[in-house]
Amino acid sequence: MTMPNPTRIVRALAGVAGILILGLSVGAATAQVEMSGPEIGEGADGSQPVFVMPRSGPFTPETVAIPNARIIAAWSGSGHADSSAEAFRHWDADGEIEPACSVCHSSIGFRSFHGLDGSAPGVPESPVPVGGVVDCETCHNPNLGTVTEITLASGVVHPVQGVEAACVTCHGGREAGIDVAAATEGLPDDEPSGDLRFLNPHYFLGAAMNLGSYGGLGYEYPGKTYSGRFLHARPVATCNSCHDPHTLKISEQTCLTCHFTGDPEDIRIARVSFDGSGDTTKGIHDDIVANGDRLLAMMKDYAAEVVGTPMVYNGDRYPYFFADANGDGVGDEAEGRAVAYNAWTPRLLKATFNWKAVSADPGAFAHNAPYALELLYDSMEDLAGPLGVDMDELDLIR
């Protein structure tokens, strides 16, 4: 067998290397022409180029541009993106979200409700998978602008524009004053009824609270007049006028346009004290909190003294109001489960609904302070009679 000549092998390899080097040089030059010429994906004559060399690295994560990165980061820190929140985890054990609940607790349900996914508008026909949040497409869906009105829990059909449709859909409540009126109609004011149960207006009711009596959120006592929609001065016109749409935080600069402080809870325009304290230096927020606390105390007194069945409140456990037969301030339990309060009278249910409607909106002081104060005052006044409380001595203002 003849052995190959080493010299010839070396010469052959050198020739191949030369060809490769020449090819790379030509390729690099061609790539430079392509990169400095037409857009990537388009040749000089509009056709596809032979190839395009990518920009050289090395790359690090912080140098890679992500479209809308700041907006996404802002949203990711908001309640709308908090996938660990009860608002999105409540149905984990079931593995699916009830159709009615999915409208606001799942982006899939929201889009289905408004027909943004191509389906017929309305409550989804079947449960929705768990695991969703209020994602980008909930508010940025290109067809959201086709939604021009929202039917509130009160039955009022309210006109909306743009992203306001999303806000009003999910912050308008689930039950309203008309539901309380219907449930208590014809029943004696101070007699417990087995037909009554706690009615929950739901949570974060900013949209309904802002609309006041026009929106019909609270139970409005006959013979009383109530404030309508709370209209801020310019530049406040919509939810997004005050709330950053992604972080959901309040813009202090917006407040400072008209007010002397950027802290919303310190803002006060009224020169009278609504809570009887006489202090008009604190924000109107504090008056609402004080009157809410007073109403809750009167509700408990009424349950114990008039109904004869004490009641306790637990804001961390639905349905929030529980029986306390021995009056020790601790809710009763039966078979390891809390006993829901079941001695509702029409008078107690009306006051409780209004208290919950106001307290369920942490921004009630800004959304519609007059309406919130009116609901609280009238509820206290209604309980005062059977409790023997003199409203004049409380020195409250409606």
**Residue that is written with structure tokens 């080493």 in the block:** 6
Q: What are phi and psi of 383, to 5 degrees?
A: -75, -25
> Does residue 28 carry a pLDDT above 60?
no
> Does residue 29 carry a pLDDT above 70?
no
pLDDT band at 390 (very low <50, low <70, confident <90, very high): very high
Helix or strand run (H / E) with residue 204:
none
The amino acid present at 74, given as its one-letter code, is A
How far is Cα 60 from Cα 306, in angstroms, rounded to an integer? 70
> Does residue 32 carry a pLDDT above 50?
no
CA 293 to chain centre: 24
Q: Is 217:209 a contact under the CB 8 Å cutoff?
A: yes
List the domain boundaries for the chain: 71-146, 171-308+343-394
Q: Averaged over 224-233, what is the pLDDT?
A: 95
**Residue that is written with structure tokens 């801020």 in the block:** 232
Q: Averaged over 50-60, what is the pLDDT?
A: 64
> Does residue 369 carry a pLDDT above 50?
yes
Beta strands 96-97 and 337-338, pairing class: unpaired
How far is Cα 220 from Cα 200, in angstroms, rounded to an integer? 16
How far is Cα 40 from Cα 227, in angstroms, rounded to an integer? 61
Share of the chain above pLDDT 90, in %: 77
Structure tokens at 224: 């009383």
Contacts for 356-359: CB closer than 8 Å, 24+ residues apart: 356/200, 356/201, 356/320, 357/173, 357/201, 357/205, 357/209, 357/217, 357/218, 358/209, 358/218, 358/288, 358/292, 359/292
Tens digits of residue pLDDT in 123-170: 999 999 999 999 999 999 999 999 999 999 999 999 999 999 999 999
Q: Averaged over 201-206, what is the pLDDT?
A: 97
How confident is the model at residue 108, as a pLDDT? 97
Helix extents (H) in the chain = 6-36, 69-76, 86-89, 99-105, 107-113, 136-140, 164-170, 177-184, 206-215, 239-242, 252-256, 284-302, 346-359, 364-387, 391-394
Average pLDDT over all residues of the chain: 88
**pTM value?**
0.83
Q: Averaged over 223-232, what is the pLDDT?
A: 96
The amino acid present at 72, given as its one-letter code, is I
Tens digits of residue pLDDT in 75-123: 999 999 999 999 999 999 999 999 999 999 999 999 999 999 999 999 9
Q: What are phi and psi of 150, to 5 degrees?
A: -130, 135
Q: Is 172:159 a contact under the CB 8 Å cutoff?
A: no
How confident is the model at residue 253, as a pLDDT? 86
How confident is the model at residue 55, as a pLDDT? 65
Helix or strand run (H / E) with residue 216:
none
Q: Averaged over 4-8, what is the pLDDT?
A: 50
Bond prior to 222 in cis (omega within 30° of 0): no
> Does residue 1 carry a pLDDT above 90?
no
How far is Cα 142 from Cα 121, in angstroms, rounded to an integer? 16
> Does residue 338 carry a pLDDT above 80?
yes
Radius of gyration of the chain (CA): 32
Tens digits of residue pLDDT in 273-324: 999 999 999 999 999 999 999 999 999 999 999 999 999 999 999 999 999 9
> Does residue 175 carry a pLDDT above 60?
yes
How confident is the model at residue 224, as a pLDDT? 98
SS3 track for 77-141: CCHHHCCCCHHHHCCCCCCEECHHHHHHHCHHHHHHHCCCCCCCCCCCCCCEECCCCCCHHHHHC
In angstroms, the Cα distances linking 332 to 144, 308, 323 are 47, 15, 6
The Cβ-side half-sphere exposure at 8, using a 13 Å CA radius, reads 3
CA 315 to chain centre: 18
